[in-house]
Every structure is written in C-alpha cells, then in structure tokens.
Amino acid sequence: MTATKPNRAPTGIRQRHGAKCTGGRRCGCPWEAFVPLGRKGEKLRKTWPTRKLAEDWRTEAMADQKRGKLRTPTSTTVEQAAEAFLAGARDGSIPAAGGGRFKPATIRGYTVALHKRLLPAFGKRRLSDVRRADVQEFADALTAEGLRASTVHNTLDPLRVIYRRAIRREEVDVDPTKNLELRRPDGKRDRIADPAEADALLAALHEDRALWATAIYAGLRRGELMALRCSDVDLHGRVIHVQRGWDQIEGEQEGKSAAANRRVPILDPLARELVDHLMRTGRRGDDLVFGATAAKPFSRESVRRRSLAAWEAAGLTPLTLHEARHTCASVMIAAGVNAKALSAIMRHATIAMTFDTYGHLMPGGLDEAAAAANAYLARQTGERPALTVVG
C-alpha cells in the first residue's frame, strides 16, 4: 500500500493557523505568501483567504521581482496621502488632469468625500495595503445604502486621483480603484436645444439675452460668464479669451497657466448680440460684460428667475446654462468641428472626456463613414461616385 504524501505548501507559502485552530486540512485559516526583497532579508508579505490566491500572487510577484518592478511597501497612509494631495491642490503645486489648477468647487467636493466617507474607511491603512476587493466592497456598501450611481462615482473620484499620483511617484504598483464594477449613472442626457429652438429662446429674452447667447454659441460655463470682462472680448478678431472664472465662495479665480485659458470663436449670431449688449450698457475695458454692475457679477438666481418668467410667457421649454453649453457643443458637432478642436473650445482636460460627454452626438455609423470617405475620394480623383446596387 502506497503512503499518501502530505499536502505541503510550496516555498514562500504558509497557512497561518489561529490559536483555536486544530490544524485540520480543511480549516479556514488564511494563507500567507512572501517574496524576498533586496539583500537585507526584507520580505514582501501578503495574506490571502485561499492557498490558490496566495500561490497566484507569489508567482506574479516573483516575476515582478525579476523585472525589478517590486518595491518595499510604502509606509504612507491613505490619510497622509489625502492631506498632501489637498494641500497641493489648494496651493497649485499639484495640477489637475489638464495641467491647470483644481477648481475651488472641485477641492471642496473632494474634501467632503474624503472626510465623510473615504478616510473613515481607509484613512489609517497604508496605500499599498488597500486592495481592489476592499474598494469594491466599499462601493457596494454605498450602493446598498441607496446612494445614486453618480454619487458613488463622485465619492471615489478623490481616491482615484490620490492613487494616480501614488503610481506616478512609484509609491505603489497597483491602483485599487481601477476595473471596479460600478453602476452607471442613470444615463439621463442634458437637454439640447436645436438651432431654431435656441433662436426662439433668445428672442423671448431682453436683459439677459447676450448672456444666454454666449452660453449657447460659445459654450462658456456659468463661472466663466460671471468673470468675463470686456477686455476679454475681441470683436474685431472674433474671439473670446476665457482667462478666469468665478467661484461662488472664493470669488474671481485667475487662470494660472496656459492650459487654464482658451480662445473661443465668436459666431455670427453671438457677435450681433454682444455688439448690441455692449452698446446698450456702455461697458468697456475691465468692466464685467454681464455683471449686475460693471464691478459686481450677476446673480445666478436673478438671471434664472427672469429667464424662466420670459420663457413661460412665451410658452417655451426652459434651458439651464449647463444645457446651453451642451447645445453649443451639439452645434459644433453638427457643423463638422473635429473632436480635437471641440475639446479645446469646451476646455476639456482630455479629448477622451470630449468623447465620453459628446460621443453620442458624433456621426459614427458605417454608412456615414463610407459616404463621407467616398465623397472625399470622388472630389480628389474626379471619379463619379459608385452606383447604388438595388435588389
């Protein structure tokens, strides 16, 4: 009779039995795997619920070690990394994705998310100790609480930024915020007015007509409209220089880099409205274009109240300033403006953001692509378009 060989764990793997464990083969005690680091006897250790997971991790870690990609775990905690990030975001030493400064409203949102939910859950843990499963469990718990999908995404945003920074600084090798299974936001699209409707909405307005025209035809954000000065508007050159914004709490925010500024073309319908507005108000120089006074920005509540009253009297469906910005993008796309130019006009941090936001409006069907390519080739070669085959 052949004796059964003991089920020994391979080198670098061991099961950690608790004080009350009898050591049976089917006990549920965790498995520890380790990989040696350097010449000082240091070891990188990880604990896993099953032997298979421990073995798989050690195999990958040993491969990373040979490629020189394995490092000693950082001692920095999530809380310490969060404090450093918020301080850098506030003083501008840590740039946003587009290279400019983080907006004050964004920093306030990140601060709330960190202190309300993220730091109580992960604050005391080292950056390198947080696993994707931990973040997934956290996100699932938020969903179980009844939070909207968009709220869950927004809550995780500062953690994503912190880990992207840690990856770049080589403090961690793995980003646990990637490849999570999250519910998509409800998918509701912002309302977009077609050109005829936009014209009717503007025609119903009086005092705020030029403001709404700038939102619809130039795509400026509310804060940018509030901070826009006459010196930023070059009617002769047909361009608006967007150089600053307005924060409801901290006031005017100057653009601190070239990435924070942009040039937006003044379309014909907007040019007429701006000329009429500036002549009527007598604003010039450093005066605010749309201010309640030349030095005081407009009140968003007052503008909204006047606009709603005018549109209700005209029997029109209201528009928000944010929806006016989306309307501008839809006009650009319908006119054939390419995604790179649109990204610059709308001042998106990346062109990927442009595609994520407006990709559903862009022509992309095979028939449209083929028709556009065929028409281009026909113009270049002088050949007649191919006949359509019927039947």
* Each residue's pLDDT tens digit, 175-208: 899 989 888 766 556 788 999 999 999 999 988 9
- Over residues 335-346, the mean pLDDT reads 84
- Over residues 261-267, the mean pLDDT reads 89
Three-state secondary structure call for residue 270: helix
Q: What is the CA radius of gyration of the chain?
A: 29
- Over residues 35-57, the mean pLDDT reads 78
**Percent of the chain beyond pLDDT 70?**
82
| pLDDT greater than 90 at residue 231 | yes
- Over residues 373-382, the mean pLDDT reads 74
Domain 195-361 matching CATH 3.40.50.620: the answer reads no
Do 78-168 and 195-361 show the same overall fold? Answer: no
The pLDDT assigned to 317 comes to 94
- Over residues 232-254, the mean pLDDT reads 88
User: What residue spans define the domains of the chain?
Assistant: 26-72, 78-168, 195-361
DSSP letter (8 states) at residue 176: T
Residue-wise pLDDT tens digits, 343-373: 888 887 666 767 666 766 666 556 666 776 7
The pLDDT assigned to 209 comes to 95
| pLDDT greater than 70 at residue 40 | no
321 vs 349, which has greater pLDDT?
A: 321
The pLDDT assigned to 1 comes to 44
- Over residues 219-241, the mean pLDDT reads 94
Q: Are strands 239-242 and 244-247 parallel, antiparallel or unpaired?
A: unpaired
Confidence of residue 4 (pLDDT cuts 50, 70, 90): very low
- Over residues 138-146, the mean pLDDT reads 93
DSSP3 helix / strand / coil % (the chain, rounded to 5): 50, 10, 40
The pLDDT assigned to 360 comes to 63
Per mean pLDDT, which range of 23-27, 198-202, 235-239, 360-364 is the poorest? 360-364
The pLDDT assigned to 5 comes to 44
DSSP letter (8 states) at residue 288: B
- Alpha-carbon 359 to chain mean position: 15
160 vs 333, which has greater pLDDT?
A: 160
- Distance of alpha carbon 374 from alpha carbon 131, whole angstroms: 51
The pLDDT assigned to 261 comes to 77
Q: Let me know the angle formed at the C-alpha of 120 by 142 and 156, rounded to the nearest 5 degrees.
A: 45
Cα 38 to Cα 41, 54, 73, 318, 390: the distances in Å are 7, 21, 13, 66, 72
Q: Are strands 31-37 and 13-15 parallel, antiparallel or unpaired?
A: antiparallel
Question: Crossing angle of helices 149-168/78-91, nearest 10°?
Answer: 90
| pLDDT greater than 70 at residue 6 | no
User: What are the phi and psi torsion angles at 307 (to 5°)?
Assistant: -65, -45
- Distance of alpha carbon 286 from alpha carbon 264, whole angstroms: 19
| pLDDT greater than 90 at residue 318 | yes
Six token digits for residue 65: 């070690």
Across the chain, mean pLDDT equals 84
| pLDDT greater than 50 at residue 2 | no
Q: Are 271 and 265 in contact (CB under 8 A)?
A: no
pTM: 0.63
- Distance of alpha carbon 198 from alpha carbon 182, whole angstroms: 36
Q: Are 225 and 357 in contact (CB under 8 A)?
A: no
The pLDDT assigned to 249 comes to 80
- Over residues 63-81, the mean pLDDT reads 76
Six token digits for residue 232: 């930023």
The pLDDT assigned to 227 comes to 94
Which residues touch 332 (CB under 8 Å, ≥6 apart)?
219, 341, 342, 345
The pLDDT assigned to 8 comes to 59
Q: List the beta bridge partners of residue 13.
A: 33
Topology of the domain covering 78-168: DNA polymerase; domain 1 (1.10.150)
- Distance of alpha carbon 174 from alpha carbon 178, whole angstroms: 9
- Distance of alpha carbon 165 from alpha carbon 162, whole angstroms: 5
The pLDDT assigned to 384 comes to 60
